[in-house]
Amino acid sequence: MKMMKKYASALMLGLPLVALGFTSQAQNTKIPAPAQEHILVSENPTENRKETLSGIHLQPAQKGTFLLDFSQELDEDATLEVKNTAGRTVFKKPVSITDNKKAWRYNVGKLPSDTYLVEVKTSDTTYWTKFKVSK
């Protein structure tokens, strides 16, 4: 019995030392640096690029309708789309670059209070901006 008490007390004294040994070893272990990953946005050069639309103005016109003016250097004909926050297209018209135009005006009609996304899409680029209508 005396022998068991001796082993038990030795075990009790030794456990904290063993635990400290593991703790000190764990604290000295270096954490590996996170791997740097590069995200490939597009491998295909024919996919659409997105750029902001410049020179955009939305102004009230007669009878509660709105005029949309924008200027953008386009290399080809495009399509103008106005979408509401639900993603539904509320206005869509072709944008022609004939006569070397760099500015266009469209009467987009009545627009309820909402935030709208304006996109001008060519074959390889989408120009966009957002505007808010509040009454």
Per-domain boundaries in the chain:
49-133
- Phi, psi for residue 41 in degrees, rounded to 5: -75, -50
What is the pTM for the complete model shown? 0.59
* Architecture per CATH, 49-133: Sandwich (2.60)
- Which has more pLDDT, 40 or 116? 116
d(CA 64, CA 61): 6
Choose among 121, 124, 130, 126: nearest CA to 51.
126
pLDDT at 66 over 80: yes
Phi, psi of 109 (to 5 degrees): 80, -160
What was the pLDDT predicted at 93?
A: 92
91 and 100 Cβ atoms separated by less than 8 Å: no
With CA atoms as reference, report the closest residue to 55 among 101, 87, 17.
101
Which tens digits make up the pLDDT trace of 71-82?
A: 888 888 989 999
Give pLDDT tens digits for 76-115: 898 999 999 999 999 999 988 887 778 888 888 888 889 9
Measured distance CA(37)–CA(5) in Å, rounded = 58
- Cα–Cα dist 14/44, whole Å: 64
pLDDT band, residue 41 (cuts 50/70/90)? very low
